[in-house]
Copies of this chain bind each other. A is one copy, B any other.
Amino acid sequence: MDKKTTIYDIAREAGVSTATVTRVTAGSAKVKPSTRERVQRVIDAHGYVPSAAAHALEGGLSNTIAIVMPLSANPYFTRLFNAVYEEAAANGYYAWLFQIRENSPIPRSLIDEIIRRRIDGVIFAGGIWSEERSGLSDALTRLKHHMPAVTICPPTMHPDCICIHSDLVSCSRLPVRHLHALGHRRIAFIGGSLQLRDSSMRGENFLRELRELGLPDDPAYHVDCGYNAESGEGAVLRMLSGLDRRRWPTAIIAFNDLMALGAIKQLKHMGLHLPQDMAIIGCDNQFFCPYVDPPLTSVDLHPEELASSAVRELLAAKGASYAKFNLMRDATLIVRESCGASLGYRKLG
């Protein structure tokens, strides 16, 4: 690493003033071609690039938005981030990802860091936060004076953020009604922890749907667990082994596709044939769904659209004093074979 060359070095070596160097780098004002060329030569020779820090200090913007998400291997978050990155880029911004440990609160120091760097706005994503324990509320309050914030997670009442979320009602309704229409009567839900906001809301909605259809809302059909494939495996094992075979559900809805993957493995391991012996529906419509055996029916929450809306709203809110509002995106059921629809028969639960 050479010791950093500054605009002064360039100016001196090219025999011009710093102002002229700026004129060349910014490409803006008129500079005599011969001068411009001479300066450019020196710039190239040194590989000189103006410092963003000095520029920002001088009034330039950081052109950066932050996104805060749980550190997770779940591709849902990759999709979310990629879409944020793309939409930001389309608007001339860079997206900076800050990760937090799953199930631990947003560190105060992280928010400080984001403020320190004078970032233009923040997106908080990750449905699994319980608002109270997550520190989200604190974070929004502290951020309030500095930059706009958007959340992509279950609706928040906090006044200092725009809140973009999936339609958690249709997210439960779609698979339940679909299974019901196929003739299923005993439907189970394996979902993340009831302690956490997103999964408990989904769980509640699930139960409401069952009741509306007059189906049994047996607590044994609702298993609390983690969020990955392994959790799905364990959940199915626990649920079925605790139940007399005649009371087994005929269909399972999983909180996400990872869990569905685990559930399928466990069901096959127990000798069941899918979807004949058990229908299953996941959530997130991940890339692997068409490749699961049987191909996995799943609810698509359209994370890419949530993400691009989030970026647009964030940038629109910038500078202006923005009003809090919620924006909801429909869910879509993508029917494949794991729910048995293609069998063309109506199961009688």
Contact = CB atoms under 8 A, between A and B. Distances in A.
Interface of A: 1-2, 46-47, 49-57, 62, 71, 73, 75, 77-79, 82, 85-86, 94, 96-99, 112-113, 115-118, 142, 144-148, 228-229, 258, 261-262, 264-265, 268, 287-288, 290-293, 318-319, 321
A1 B82 contact: no
Contact of A52 (B79, B99, B118, B288): B118
A28 to B, nearest CB: 17
Contact of A49 (B62, B85, B116, B292): B116
B52 A117 contact: yes
A18 B5 CA distance: 29
A226 to B, nearest CB: 13
A82 B99 CA distance: 9
A51 B118 contact: yes
A1 B47 CA distance: 37
21 contacts: A1-B145, A1-B147, A1-B319, A1-B321, A46-B145, A47-B142, A49-B115, A49-B146, A50-B116, A51-B118, A53-B54, A53-B57, A54-B57, A85-B97, A94-B96, A94-B98, A96-B97, A229-B290, A264-B291, A265-B290, A292-B293
